[in-house]
Structure 1
Amino acid sequence: MTRTITFNELRSIKDRLPDGTIHRIAEDLGVTVETVRNYFGGENYKDGKSCGLHIEPGPDGGIVMIDDTAILDRALDILGMQKV
């Protein structure tokens, strides 16, 4: 199931994560730390992979269509946020 949010919303979620969470998510999901960083807007594809994000320019940093929500779901679980 594809999920759509704004890029600014995605970055806001990342910015609210406690220190060390990127490493924790990577370990929990069996992916590299750079892959998790790329999910939240990083661009290190030498050490990390793309995560099924498609960004279209627009207001609020653009629209992000997410094919695989596993990283986002884990981040929201850690923050104790409801999935919308």
Structure 2
Amino acid sequence: MEKVITFNELRRIKDSLPHGSVQKIAEELNLEEDTVRNYFGGADYVHGKSVGFHAEQGPDGGVITLDDITILEKAKKILSDLNIAH
């Protein structure tokens, strides 16, 4: 499933995650941690893979189209379980 989100909103979600969440998501999905970081706007393609992150410049950091929302949904679930607004 594809999702359009602003870059700043995506970064707010990532920045709200507790320490260790990227590792937890990576382990649950059998991915490299850098692949999960790339999903949230990172750019380490030596250790991580591309994740269908398509950026268009614009207000609020621009618009990001995510080809797959699995990582985003995992992050939102972690925040929801901890009652952290996202």
TM-score range, shorter chain: over 0.9
Aligned residue identity for 1:14: K
Q: TM-score, normalised by structure 2?
A: 0.91
Q: Report the counterpart of residue 34 of structure 1 in structure 2.
A: 34
Aligned length: 81
Q: TM-score, normalised by structure 1?
A: 0.93
> Residues 51-77 of structure 1, C-alpha deviation per residue, up to 9 Å, x if partnerless?
111010000110000111110000000
Deviation of residue 9 (structure 1)?
0.1
Percentage of identical aligned residues: 56
Give 3-state SS (helix, strand or coil) of 2:41's partner.
Answer: coil
In structure 1, the gaps of 5 or more residues are: none
Distance in 1 separating the partners of 2:19 and 2:13: 13
Distance in 1 separating the partners of 2:49 and 2:60: 24
Give 3-state SS (helix, strand or coil) of 2:55's partner.
Answer: strand
Distance in 2 separating the partners of 1:49 and 1:60: 25
Q: What pairs with 1:1-84 in structure 2 (closer than 5 Å)?
A: 1-80=1-80
Distance in 2 separating the partners of 1:63 and 1:53: 10
Aligned residue identity for 1:29: L
In structure 2, the gaps of 5 or more residues are: none
